[in-house]
């Protein structure tokens, strides 16, 4: 346990777990010993906010426009089995319009962080079923995020093998392994004939997510993981049909999307993008970022995807977009647009009024505030989770945060 706590603290202090400065004061509370946040007669009433009203997207009726963003919490075991107490964690947050699960590995090769869940075998399906059911019993909607980390991994997480990538380009930074943070290595470039097997991994994972009872899936094509490594010309230097032109670099991600649509139908498939983020890996942006991602969004729109989930700016650091026009990308997509990165209720209302987004995802605020939607509605202060509860450990600092009324269990 002492070793795990040391690893967790190293991870929290790394780029993977960096907290940006926030506007406004937040009360810092630990979980089991936390004091309770409560409403005051002087607190503003935001119950009429358009963000907090029911909304329809596709064939899904949502309670509000707040999305719980995917949050890696590293509570699973070495076999990628999520813990039973994850049912409490997700059910407690079911007031969100949609919950998007923590990023979930589509295969053993996909793993890039220790203690993260999988969806490639029957045991994992069985572990996810009661978690999904708990969300449904609480009236919630939950999508599974499908993940392959590509080069953002380490041989210790790959059975001694090198991580795979479109090209053999080493990322900057370190990987979170069971033995602590270790420097990234130069990955192995995938052979052309290996790519269909990874597409099949995604198709199987999508099918397994349906078997576990999820309401849909989100394809993780963001944060410089495998799919985005193929999209960007900074990480894709291939000379085969999967490299070179924009069309070629988009070929593999779109083949993955098509495979997932074949399982779910486009109306229950979303995708996450991050054209402006450089983390992890200190990954340079694409050299023609608006042309590349505009073409990508056009192709996704033509396929009728339910939503695009865009990280606006640099993950966990800034909303500065470095030449990326997110409003222009939103206009190219006919479906629902989910905006992410340091959103507050006020900012979400402003962006909704402009027509630049439909839903708004929030991540870290959900860690210590299982009743985040109620707190936004009533103007209650937010609790903030100390870094040592972010990754690894058990239910403490995970599923035992009190609501503003002092309740800890909803399940």
**CA pair distance 115, 392, nearest whole angstrom:** 7
> What does the CA dihedral 346, 351, 354, 359 come to, rounded to 10 degrees?
-120
**CA pair distance 94, 91, nearest whole angstrom:** 5
Q: HEC string of 142-159?
A: EEEEEECCCCCCCHHHCC
Question: Which residue(s) pair with 318 in the sheet?
Answer: 314
* 108 C-beta neighbours (distance < 10 Å), count: 16
Q: Is 225 a catalytic residue?
A: yes
> What does the CA dihedral 335, 223, 314, 285 come to, rounded to 10 degrees?
-90
Residue 329: enclosing H or E segment and its boundaries? Answer: helix 326-331
The DSSP string of 206-225 is HHHHHHTT-SEEEEE--TTS
Return the structure tokens found at 294: 């505009």
**CA pair distance 187, 340, nearest whole angstrom:** 29
Q: HEC string of 24-80?
A: CCCEECCCCCCCCCCCCCCCCCCCCCHHHCCEEECCEEECCCEEECCCCCCCCCCCC
**Catalytic annotation, pick one of 89, 202, 225, 398:** 225
Handedness of CA 321, 344, 335, 211 (dihedral sign): positive
Q: HEC string of 97-166?
A: CEEEEEEEECCHHHCCCCCCCECCCHHHHHHHHHHHHHHHHCCCCEEEEEECCCCCCCHHHCCCCCCEEC
Task: List, by residue number, the catalytic residues.
Answer: 225
């Amino acid at each position: 346990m002492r070793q795990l706590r040391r690893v967790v603290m190293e991870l929290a202090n790394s780029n993977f777990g960096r907290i940006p400065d926030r506007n406004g004061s937040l009360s810092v509370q630990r979980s089991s010993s936390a004091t309770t946040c409560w409403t005051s007669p002087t607190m503003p009433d935001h119950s009429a906010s358009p963000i907090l009203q029911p909304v329809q997207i596709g064939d899904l009726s949502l309670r509000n426009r707040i999305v719980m963003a995917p949050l890696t919490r590293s509570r699973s075991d070495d076999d990628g089995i999520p813990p039973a107490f994850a049912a409490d964690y997700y059910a407690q947050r079911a007031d969100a319009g949609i919950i998007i699960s923590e990023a979930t590995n589509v295969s053993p090769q996909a793993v890039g962080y220790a203690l993260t869940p999988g969806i490639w075998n029957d045991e994992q399906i069985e572990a996810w079923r009661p978690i999904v059911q708990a969300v449904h019993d609480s009236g919630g909607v939950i999508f599974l995020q499908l993940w392959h980390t590509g080069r953002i991994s380490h041989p210790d997480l790959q059975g001694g093998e090198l991580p795979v990538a479109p090209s053999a380009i080493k990322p900057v930074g370190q990987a979170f392994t069971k033995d602590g943070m270790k420097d990234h290595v130069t990955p192995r470039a995938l052979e052309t004939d290996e790519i269909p097997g990874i597409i099949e991994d995604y198709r199987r994972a999508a099918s397994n997510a349906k078997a576990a009872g999820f309401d849909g899936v989100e394809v993780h094509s963001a944060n410089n993981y495998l799919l985005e490594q193929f999209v960007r010309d900074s990480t894709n230097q291939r000379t085969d049909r999967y490299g070179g032109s924009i069309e070629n670099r988009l070929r593999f991600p779109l083949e993955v999307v098509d495979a997932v649509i074949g399982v779910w139908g486009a109306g229950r498939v979303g995708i996450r993008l991050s054209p402006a983020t450089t983390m992890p890996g200190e990954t340079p942006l694409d050299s023609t970022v608006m042309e590349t991602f505009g073409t990508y969004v056009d192709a996704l729109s033509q396929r009728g995807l339910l939503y695009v989930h865009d990280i606006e700016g640099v993950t966990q650091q800034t909303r500065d977009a470095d030449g990326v026009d997110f409003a222009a990308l939103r206009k190219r997509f006919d479906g629902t647009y989910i905006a992410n990165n340091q959103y507050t209720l006020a900012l979400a209302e402003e962006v909704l009024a402009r027509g630049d987004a439909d839903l708004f995802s929030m991540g870290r605020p959900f860690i210590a505030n299982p009743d985040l939607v109620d707190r936004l509605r009533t103007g209650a202060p937010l609790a903030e989770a100390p870094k040592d509860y972010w990754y690894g450990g058990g239910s403490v600092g995970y599923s035992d945060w009190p609501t503003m009324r002092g309740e800890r269990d909803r399940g």
